[in-house]
Chains A and B, each alone.
Chain A
Amino acid sequence: MADITIPPKDSFRLSMLIYDTRYRSLTIQVVFMFLLMAGATWLVNNTIYNLHVLGKDFSYSFLWSRAGYDINQRFIAYNSDSTHGRAMLVGLLNTLFIAFISCVAATVLGVIAGVLRLSKNWVVAKLMAIYVESFRNIPLLIWILVIFAVMTEAAPAPNAFRGANPSAHMWFFDTIAVTNRGVYFPEPLFFRSLGNIDLGIFLVSTDLLAIIAVMVLSILGYKRLQRSAETVQNATGIRPVTWWKSALILIAPIVILLVALGFHLGYPELKGFNFRGGVHARNSLIALWVALSVYTGAFIAEIVRAGIQAISRGQTEAALALGLKPGQTTNLVVLPQALRVIIPPMISEYLNITKNTSLAIAVGYMDLRATLGGITLNQTGRELEAMLLMMGIYLAISLIISSVMNFYNRSVKLKER
């Protein structure tokens, strides 16, 4: 039996902190922690000191003072008399809006392109490959600028729609106007509107709430109908005819509500310098949205393709051999497994989109960076405060997105028993 000498307890020497592997990692961690804290302290002290030298203090009171500037795109009431805090909120909502619509569009584009890239049709597959490679490999900023430039330089000015013989025309039976200042769409209006509910910070349209409520109820009713049909089918073997009941439940209530509210469309009309009425999607919004969507869509396409290819062909063949239809094979066999591979990298893409919205600076889209981190910062001279707050907000948005997505990821994960 080999001799194992156990070192006596009392023989601890200082040098063992470095040479003894039992202590070494602890020593390194303690030293590193100490250095890190010293570094952080130095940074904070240095900042406080230098602010002091400049005669500045650290305060967020500017958030409650009058902003004095106007913002073109606002989802909540705002004017130049509102506070900097509210300007920040307007910017934040603009950021969230562009991030949301870009995530949706990028996902749709990405899934289509990813699936089509695996298509057996050579032309389609190659076209998708070209899309992916060209958009992925050119910087996003350039796409934003190119689309913005095309929109402003190529589209007609509102003036061109004027007169007896205008050189430009509206689209789709005079409902949509594409101008070099953006696109004007018809807007939903109500003759007998229910008004708004004041939530203190912003107003919520009661009409919208009513529409959402009715739609949710319809869908619940529809589900119930399907379930009872299933029960009948299980009991008797014959599925009762439900399509007209489904249609009735899904469509009738919403139509009745819309008629009751006096729903109609407000069309954009050329008045004075610009089109008035309708929804105005500015060039900055469109350029940012299109660029973010097609650029990130290219990455998502690759993720989707990888996810589908990760499921071995054998499974598809086995499913088909068992008599599943191709649609069922995709829905029941391939997709549930592919999603497992697809979702984690998708979270990163959504986070990328959200952070990339700050490229709005290139086209003057009034996002959080442009309001809080731009005009407010500049007019109040509160660089440090504004930057820290902005970083905090972006961090919070990102953490919320990733926790929601992680939650979804857990719910679609393969449940192993």
Chain B
Amino acid sequence: MKKSVILGMAGAACLAAGMATAGTLDEVKQRGELNCGVTTGLAGFAAPDANGVWQGFDVDYCRAVAAAVLGDPTKVKFVPTTGQTRFTALASGEVDMLARNTTWTFSRDVDLKFTFVAINYYDGQGFMVPKALGVSSAKELDGATVCIQTGTTTELNLADYFKANNMKYDPVPIETNAEGQQQFLAGACDVYTTDRSGLAATRATFAKPDDYVVLPEVISKEPLGPLVRQGDDQWADVVRWVANSLVEAEDLGITSANIEELSKGTNNPEINRILGTDGGLGKMLGLDDAWAKRAIAANGNYGEIFAANLGESTPIGLARGLNALWTHGGLQYSPPFR
């Protein structure tokens, strides 16, 4: 009772502050730029290239959203965040969304008050060791020194896994992937553990990737995806359906090569709806009709984004696996556009 009176008074006193929490969509449009929280640098997911332009799987999600909302995939300000700073950055409004290898968990969703809008990469935690150690299973890691990024699900899974298997380890806490890589290569830790996609991406940047192996064990479920602040459903819908449109585009065979052609109109009503030839969906989101067309055109459909950044033709060389379309035995599936 008393609390609500205080809150009410505070609310009245802070109209100005209240205005700052107006719809994120309007704010982004007004600003003309999307603030997108990404990693501090993880090849394949988000890292600046030689020209200082951000590239990667997560980066392409930011660009797709910017294309849908602002009409220009380059209007993104990338904000590098560490495992520890990312949630504060999102909660405080420093970024409009996070696309940063972030695992959807109960407490982040419910207690930390975020809304996960999609799972763009189904992953699990793994271990990487130098081949020279002669270790072939995570069960042999008793007594090892392990590098872990702090503020992640990784450190919690690790504690649980070693405890469950009655093993001991010496954790070396690190802030960023770059720091972890340096410590691991210097031999300051025997094992580097994080999401297996992250391990593959990190290993790909080593001078001698073949000297290191990722152990077979997958010790957790790490559904990674973009997230926004809880409580702004309109903005959550925008990011969610941009993400869905990329998967749906692959499902429907819309690629960056044929998108112009298809958007002239087809006899598939679903394609017409998603590309805005049959209007209506965009307005419901608070965007124009061509929103999804622009999002897909920015970097291609989900399959194209995957192949370009992480796929088997890249140095990272990840197979689609769980991330294949549902029609190909994977889990990537978009609700219908209607």
Contact = CB atoms under 8 A, between A and B. Distances in A.
A180 B9 contact: no
For chain B, give the interface size range: 35 or more
Nearest to B9: A45
Interface in B142-189: 142-145, 150-151, 155-156, 158-160, 162-163, 169-175, 183, 186-189
A52 B4 CA distance: 10
Interface string A161-185: 0000000000000000000110000
Given A56-B113, A80-B159, A381-B111, A49 B150 contact: no
Interface string B108-119: 100111000000
Contact of B171 (A72, A378, A379): A72
Contacts of A53: 18, 21, 231
B171 A46 contact: no
Contacts of B10: 45-46, 48-49, 52
Interface string B211-250: 0000000000000000001110000000000000000000
B175 A273 contact: no
A69 B113 contact: no
Size range of the chain A interface in the assembly: 35 or more
A383 B88 contact: yes
Contacts of A52: 7, 10-11
Nearest to A376: B151
A55 B163 contact: no
Nearest to B169: A70
A292 interface: no
Which of B17, B91, B163, B173 has most chain A Cβ within 10 Å? B173
B124 interface: no
A243 to B, nearest CB: 48
Given A153-B186, A283-B188, A45 B14 contact: yes
Interface string A30-59: 000000000000100110111011111000
A69 B144 contact: no
Given A271-B143, A273-B145, A69 B155 contact: yes
Interface of A: 42, 45-46, 48-50, 52-56, 68-72, 79-81, 152-153, 157, 159, 180-181, 271-274, 276, 283, 361, 364, 366, 370, 374-375, 377-381, 383
9 contacts: A49-B10, A49-B11, A50-B14, A53-B231, A72-B172, A152-B186, A273-B190, A375-B173, A380-B107
